[in-house]
Structure 1
Amino acid sequence: MKIRTIGRHLRESFKSLRRNGWMTFASISAVTVTLLLVGVFLAIMMNMNKFATDIENDVEIRVHIEMTANQEQKDELEKNIKKIPQVESVKFSSKEDELNHLIQTMGKEWSLIGDDENPLHDVFIVKTKKPSETAGVAQKIRALDSVDSAKYGEKKVERLFSLLGTSRNVGIVLVIGLLFTAMFLISNTIKITIFARRREIEIMKLVGATNWFIRWPFIFEGIWLGILGSIIPIAIVATSYSYGYDFLAKRIPDDYFMSPLPYTPFVYQVSLLLLLIGVIIGAWGSFISVRRYLKV
């Protein structure tokens, strides 16, 4: 396609938007409403997925070392744990550290326990490369020498993984369903716009215009509708997420393991995604809608 021809198609698309003011407004409104729903739902689902990932990554195996184990046996146990392929990190926590943590968590009354009376075990805190590998790694660690027990929550963690997996699958299905709904609504609105101009298409076809020569102004028009319709949803999602992020940031401690997605680059990613969805659906809706009127 020549540059001069592209310029002509762009001019025609702008003229068409002005000539068909009310239909243009209806199409942009449909794009705006559907993309706003998509944007809000994407923001919620992406943050829910982030929370789920944070929960999974916080799962750890606490390996209680036998009370009778000496330093050499502890070093040997640490080496054996690190040899397990699925293990990502191993951190040692002495029984004194465990007692201090217990005092901070449960209250100062636990400080009455002296170091000589400390009933707690030395512990290796083990994290796996993948949260789903936790159960298998714990089973392997239990078979090692000098291990009293290896705990990770077991049934609760397994139920949690199952719940998170189900919620992710449901979220993906809902997002796909919402996108198809958006495509259906927007393309149908564009069809109405093109239906009102079917005579114009038929005349162009009868005087010898090629199919693609007729299509391109409508495709560009659909792209403009998608771009214009995405501006308000992008602005609303970006502003709302800014307020929501600030609200949560003030109430969630800095060291808390769960946190929302940071404003940057999350908002830019969602904005670009909404813009692309608007452009693709607008162009696709115009392409499909004009096709039936080219058969003269």
Structure 2
Amino acid sequence: MKINTVKHLIKESIKNLNRNRVMAFSSISSVTVTLLLVVVFLAVMLNVNFMGSTLKKDIDIRVLVSQSADKTDEETLQMNIKKIKHVNSITYSSKNQELEKLINSMDENGQAFKLFKQKNPLKNTFIIKTDKPENIEIVAEKINDLSNTDEVIYGEKEIKKIFNFVNMGQSIGIILIIGLLFTAIFLISNTIKITIMARKKEIEVMRLVGATNSFIRLPFIFEGLWIGFLGSIIPIGFLLITYGIVYNYLMPKLVGTVFKLLPQLSFVIELSITTMVIGVMIGMVGSVLSIQKFLKK
């Protein structure tokens, strides 16, 4: 009789062990898939934001000075521009300098513009940088009201498109990431809830012998932490390999443009640490939510 009881207990223990392994693997798989998606979205979103902020910094206001303005008029205009709030810097570029820039920017085709050196049709220009990209439109409108300005160019439509694109990318990225994190917490919570139900008798015995809720809760929290940690390993490895490949492929093609990717080493290290922290946190939160519901009963 005793032998049969021992055999039964051993069989039940093995079943529970196998069940726990399957559920743990299921939880780790859920975290892995979720974090893979989170890593991809974060990498794309952060680089889009970086490109957007770089573009914003490169935006300036170009003030074409009236042809009738003399040197004194130009100096007065420059002083009046400096007085405008949010103006960070102002650079003077003569019409000859503007022509040289045009010739150099056109490579071989720019040689044809050398004919204009004798009678330059371009205008002297003030190039203004604002303290914040968002203040460009305000500053441009104030400059436009000043005398001796022929035209104020700041790419109004392009600025709005850039701002809208960056803001939309941020909003969509944040919503998707939050949704994925909540999905991961839900999956881990349900998986650990099944584990708790399977060990219900064990927990009830612990409560009968005087175990506190904190003592009962602690092993499940560590289990969630471990699940989150293991679930973050594959996404981190994926990030290390994939971002390096994408970076080495795209950066040579982006040379000479305003577009750049985030620096490879620092970005990968920071995002890897963030991914691991997110994995551990969602694992722990999922565990706490599951055991908390059971301990309230």
Report TM bin, short chain. Answer: 0.7 to 0.9
Aligned to 1:203: 205
Aligned to 2:267: 266
CA deviation map 1:171-198 (0-9, x unaligned): 2222222222222222222222333222
CA deviation map 1:157-184 (0-9, x unaligned): 3243233323322222222222222222
Aligned to 1:75: 75
Give the AA of the match of 2:240: A
Runs of 4+ in 1 over 6 A off after TM superposition: 16-19
**1:48-87 superposed matches below 5 A:** 48-87=48-87
**Per-residue deviation at 1:23?**
2.4
Give the AA of the match of 1:191: K
Aligned to 2:10: none
Aligned to 2:7: none
Task: Indicate which of 206, 214, 232 corresponds to 1:230.
Answer: 232
**1:82-101 superposed matches below 5 A:** 82-101=82-101
State the alpha-carbon separation in 1 of the partners of residues 17 and 132 from structure 2. 52
CA deviation map 1:124-172 (0-9, x unaligned): 1112122121111111111223211111122333243233323322222
Aligned to 1:282: 283
CA deviation map 1:74-125 (0-9, x unaligned): 2222222122221122122211121122223342353342323100001111
Bigger mean CA deviation after superposition, 17-26 or 149-158:
17-26
**Per-residue deviation at 1:262?**
0.7
**Per-residue deviation at 1:71?**
2.5
Give the AA of the match of 1:275: M
Aligned to 2:27: 27
Q: Give structure 1 stretches of 5+ with no counterpart.
A: 1-15
Tell me the SS of whatever aligns to 2:29. Answer: helix
State the alpha-carbon separation in 1 of the partners of residues 37 and 207 from structure 2. 38
Give the number of aligned pairs: 280
State the alpha-carbon separation in 1 of the partners of residues 289 and 82 from structure 2. 58
Q: Work out which of the two has the higher radius of gyration on C-alpha atoms and give 1 or 2.
A: 2
Task: Indicate which of 245, 249, 262 corresponds to 2:251.
Answer: 249
Tell me the SS of whatever aligns to 2:91. Answer: strand
Tell me the SS of whatever aligns to 1:132. Answer: helix
Q: 1:159 to 1:257 in 2, by over 3 A?
A: closer
Alignment root-mean-square deviation, CA: 2.1
State the alpha-carbon separation in 2 of the partners of residues 294 and 192 from structure 1. 14
Task: Indicate which of 104, 108, 112 corresponds to 1:110.
Answer: 112
Is contact 1:226-1:280 (8 Å) kept?
Answer: yes
State the alpha-carbon separation in 2 of the partners of residues 25 and 206 from structure 1. 31
Tell me the SS of whatever aligns to 2:253. Answer: coil
Give percent identity, aligned residues only: 47
State the alpha-carbon separation in 2 of the partners of residues 156 and 114 from structure 1. 29
State the alpha-carbon separation in 2 of the partners of residues 17 and 113 from structure 1. 86
State the alpha-carbon separation in 1 of the partners of residues 140 and 24 from structure 2. 62
Aligned to 1:4: none
